[in-house]
């Protein structure tokens, strides 16, 4: 999804920025505004006013210690994409490139000394949390709250001290799972906003997601080269730490199974219950016994409880009510399954929550792996399920 522009076609940027500041002052004071805030801005202002944030001056900032910032950088899936993002977006004059994690914490920042100094005055630096809850309406926090790209200009920011700025942000998702990884943001002086900024930020987002996918494929290639000789002994799979399949023999399960864990059985369609065996680059998955059947029992009488049984092994775990709802819907749909749009309508009453549905399915597949099939979403062939 591309970043929607903040300036209406044909409007003068300086004049429109002044109108937005007048709009902000009027709305905050309870007067009639010269123009209405955009819907995304209105929703955000309602949220931050409800949180008790103030519009004049700066709200209290919060930032991480150097050790915690370093830890988050090291663990960020966006870490290896930052260099390319700086080449694409960070060399522009009057521009500040910011990359956050999924919590809205700024992990990296790149820009000229002048724009960095101005950002420092706002607390807009590495380690700071730029969510709506902390700093009011801003492109990073609002993109996280709306799960959508956002561009804000001048008076659309809730804090008056942010009015001299524009900010353009796009959430970055894991191309394998749909999980939110962070936000890419480009900010600068309000009157330097160019119509192409949104397209550049979207390019950065697509670049980061493509890089993650390429590194994912390279890791699977290494695992395949190391572990393929082990597949000669019979039906088995080679998977990475997240359950992504590098290679298989005697069974076809698609691209992912449940994430393996040492000593804990997992169920795989066609293999039944399996005990994962640790390898240097991933896991070897082989049947634990001759019985290849897999059954699920979902108990809804209290907190949703899911029991998995495959041959002589199994487990019992609590699941979220949302995941229980999804499992019931897939069970009722049978082999025909459901599309992401159909699941969105069933869960939320509309087809506008497709991204959220895909993220929920991704989290469910971490638990059940290939027992939940895709395209369309359904319980895999051979999986029996009871609901009570």
Residue 166, pLDDT > 80, answer yes
Residue 79, pLDDT > 70, answer yes
Query: With pLDDT > 70 as the criterion, what percentage of the chain qualifies?
Result: 98
Q: What is the mean pLDDT of residues 278-307?
A: 87
The pTM score is 0.78
What pLDDT digit, counting tens, does each position of 169-183 carry?
999 999 887 789 999
Q: pLDDT-derived band of residue 87, with 50, 70 and 90 as boundaries?
A: confident
Q: pLDDT-derived band of residue 71, with 50, 70 and 90 as boundaries?
A: very high
Residue 214, pLDDT > 90, answer yes
Q: pLDDT-derived band of residue 290, with 50, 70 and 90 as boundaries?
A: confident
Which residues lie below 8 Å from residue 279, measured CB to CB, with a gap of 6+? 223, 226, 227, 230, 238
What pLDDT digit, counting tens, does each position of 93-145 carry?
789 999 999 999 999 999 999 999 999 999 999 999 999 999 999 999 999 99
Other beta carbons within 10 angstroms of residue 72's beta carbon come to: 18
Q: For residue 292, how many C-alpha atoms fall within 13 Å in the half-sphere facing its CB?
A: 10
Picking from 4-8, 101-105, 349-353, 379-383, which range would have the lowest pLDDT averaged per residue? 379-383
User: CA 151 → CA 184, 293, 324, distances in Å?
Assistant: 12, 52, 36
Predicted pLDDT of residue 91: 67
What pLDDT digit, counting tens, does each position of 22-55 carry?
999 999 999 998 899 999 999 999 999 999 999 9
The most confident of the ranges 221-225, 231-235, 367-371 is 221-225
> Could you give the strand order of the β-sheet that contains 383-387, starting from the edge strand earlier in sequence?
313-318, 305-310, 294-299, 383-387
CATH of domain 13-216: 3.30.450.40
What pLDDT digit, counting tens, does each position of 318-339 carry?
999 999 999 999 999 999 999 9
- On average, the pLDDT of the chain sits at 91
Question: Which H helix or E strand runs over 294?
Answer: strand 294-299
Cα 48 to Cα 144: distance, rounded to the nearest angstrom: 14
Predicted pLDDT of residue 312: 62
For domain 234-387, the question of CATH label 1.10.10.10 is answered with yes
Predicted pLDDT of residue 86: 87
Question: Which H helix or E strand runs over 326?
Answer: helix 321-333
How do the domains of the chain map onto residue ranges?
13-216, 234-387
More confident residue, 164 or 288: 164
Predicted pLDDT of residue 131: 97
Which residues lie below 8 Å from residue 57, measured CB to CB, with a gap of 6+? 159, 160, 161
Picking from 64-73, 137-146, 253-262, 319-328, which range would have the lowest pLDDT averaged per residue? 253-262
Predicted pLDDT of residue 261: 85
Cα 41 to Cα 143: distance, rounded to the nearest angstrom: 11
The vertex-133 CA angle with 163 and 63, nearest 5°, equals: 90
């Amino acid at each position: 999804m591309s970043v929607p522009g903040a300036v209406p076609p044909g409007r003068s940027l300086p004049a429109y920025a002044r109108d937005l500041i007048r709009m902000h002052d009027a709305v905050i004071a309870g007067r009639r505004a010269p123009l209405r805030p955009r819907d995304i801005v209105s929703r955000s202002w309602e949220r931050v006013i409800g949180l008790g944030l103030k519009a004049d001056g700066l709200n209290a900032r919060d930032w991480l210690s150097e050790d915690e910032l370093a830890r988050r950088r090291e663990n960020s899936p966006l870490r290896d994409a930052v260099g390319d993002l700086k080449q694409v977006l960070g060399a522009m004059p009057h521009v500040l490139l910011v990359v956050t994690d999924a919590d809205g914490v700024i992990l990296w920042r790149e820009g000229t000394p002048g724009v960095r100094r101005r950002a420092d005055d706002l607390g807009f630096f590495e380690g700071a949390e730029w969510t709506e809850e902390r700093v009011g309406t801003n492109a990073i926090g609002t993109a996280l709250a709306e799960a959508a790209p956002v561009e804000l200009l001048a008076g659309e920011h809730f804090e008056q001290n942010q009015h001299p700025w524009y900010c353009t942000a796009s959430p970055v998702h894991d191309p394998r799972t749909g999980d939110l990884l962070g936000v890419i943001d480009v900010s600068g002086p309000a009157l330097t906003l160019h119509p192409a900024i949104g397209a550049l930020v979207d390019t950065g987002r697509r670049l980061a997601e493509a890089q993650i996918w390429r590194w994912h494929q390279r890791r699977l290639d290494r695992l395949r080269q190391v572990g393929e000789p082990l597949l000669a002994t019979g039906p088995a799979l080679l998977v990475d730490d997240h359950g992504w399949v590098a290679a298989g023999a005697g069974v076809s399960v698609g691209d992912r199974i449940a994430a393996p864990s040492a000593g804990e059985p997992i169920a795989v369609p066609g293999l039944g219950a399996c005990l994962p065996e640790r390898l240097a680059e991933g896991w070897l998955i082989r049947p634990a016994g001759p019985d290849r059947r897999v059954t699920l029992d979902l108990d809804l009488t209290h907190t949703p409880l899911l029991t998995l049984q495959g041959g002589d092994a199994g487990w019992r775990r609590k699941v979220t009510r949302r995941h229980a709802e999804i499992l019931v819907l897939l069970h009722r749909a049978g082999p025909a399954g459901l599309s992401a749009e159909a699941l969105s309508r069933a869960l939320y009453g509309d087809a506008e929550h497709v991204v959220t549905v895909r993220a929920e399915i991704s989290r469910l597949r971490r638990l059940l792996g290939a027992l939940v099939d895709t395209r369309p979403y359904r319980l895999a062939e051979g999986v029996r399920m009871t609901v009570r």
